[in-house]
Copies of this chain bind each other. A is one copy, B any other.
Amino acid sequence: MVSTIGLARALALAACMAGLALPTLAQTPAQAEVAHYVLDNGLEIVVIPDHRAPIVTHMLWYKIGSADEPPGKSGIAHFFEHLMFKGTKAHPAGEFSKVVSDVGGTENAFTANDYTAYFQMVPPDALATMMRFEADRMRGLVLSEDVIDAERDVVLEERRSRIDSSPRALLQEEVAATLYQNHPYRIPVIGWLHEMEQLNRRDAVAFYDRYYAPNNALLVVAGDVEPADVLAMAQQTYRLVPPTPDLPPRLRPSEPEHDTARTVTLHDPRVGVPAFSTSWVVPTYNSAAPGEAEALDLLAEILGGGIRSRLYQQVVVKTGIGAAAGAAYDSGAYDPSGFTVYGVPQGNATLAAVEAAVTDQIAMLIRDGVTPAELESAKTRFVRSLVFARDQQSDMANLYGRELSTGGSVEDIAQWPDRIRAVTAEQVQAVARRYLDPSVAVTGYLLPPAVQGQ
């Protein structure tokens, strides 16, 4: 089973913004139509009617991600994503996937820091069947030693191919492990190799019993369905699953004040073109002071969100020293998370020159602020990206799933455009000044092998 791992929101937003045709807005579902329920066993349900095509996206989100793992058990959340395809008491491994395939559907799953999600896209008349299978594996998995041992090898191989064979991924891991001094976002989603090797049946059973339960889950259904029908189907399937009695509160150790500037350097013979990234831990929507996350979203957009941004224009277009430059902000993370700028040199330009150009742009923005015109333009682009996300049914389901599994609400999504529009230039400058402080930045360098003596 293929899994997607990563900073899900940043990637998803990037995907939303890349290459989509302008949707016919009148055809996209209106906010008011979104239905929200909670079953008496604690399962949260969101239904987003979308009648443009006879298809439905069925996603089950668990509010458990790698940042919720017990100490020393890194990788178990993602390991579980794999185990969920291994068969239950009622249905042997492969049966669920075969049913999805037989109706012409597709399925997948992904694990991130804050959640684990399972989804199928199928014709509407297969929805009840999807719910039956998904509800069955919420509590009915067969976790034998054989299953655990075989799947552990699979995730270890996934780690080798995705992380250990990639200097960029290895550097990213150690940048995260450096950026966060205390919070579990420092631990890789896929897990540390030496801890993955030790994951066992007892760990798996304990994790499953505690976290895979309706009171820790969110059902998102988007598509050619009516909310009342979805609710009725959920009551005949998910409602039969008992809640877990010992669900712990979602409390993670938080960051201390950062006082130092730090660097992380990887020299590797596989590196052709060098690169750098500089990161800070900043608030996100779930815990930021009013307006701060919105201002940071626009700061990322103005500074480095695509080809209109200052970094791209200055580093790539005007001076031509960079092959790439930009910014990213994981504003939807449950806890304070990374704000990152990055650059890659072009031709004979040095990495140091690109880094200096990026640093200069930040210093200039902190000193002089942003112009009304670029603020307006950034707001328009940002709000349009939110609208674009509604064009593709799976993106829309993703948007609601992420929001509601990281402390947000249906109302937060509805109000997001207005909250973005309300941000002032002063607010953008203020968050840049407050958070993009070079004296507490963490900078990663991806470099070819050092010359002798270095």
Contact = CB atoms under 8 A, between A and B. Distances in A.
A145 interface: no
A265 B257 contact: no
A319 to B, nearest CB: 19
A225 to B, nearest CB: 42
A207 interface: no
A242 interface: no
Given A263-B262, A265-B262, A181 B177 contact: yes
Given A186-B181, A262-B262, A265-B260, A253 B195 contact: yes
Interface string A155-185: 0000000000000001101100110011000
A261 B449 CA distance: 13
Number of copies: 2
Contacts of A430: none
A258 interface: yes
Interface residues of A, number: 36
A384 interface: no
Nearest to A449: B439
A351 interface: no
Contact of A192 (B71, B182, B193): B182
Nearest to A187: B182
A170 B262 CA distance: 14
A72 interface: yes
A264 B260 contact: yes
Interface string A235-263: 00000000000000001111011111111
A194 B257 CA distance: 8
Contacts of A171: 259-260
B256 A192 contact: yes
Contacts of A127: none
Nearest to A174: B260
A76 interface: no
Contacts of A182: 74, 177, 187, 192
Contacts of A257: 193-194
- Rank and list the top 10 A-B pairs by shortest CB-CB distance, nearest first: A177-B181, A192-B256, A72-B253, A174-B260, A263-B263, A261-B265, A260-B266, A260-B264, A71-B253, A262-B264
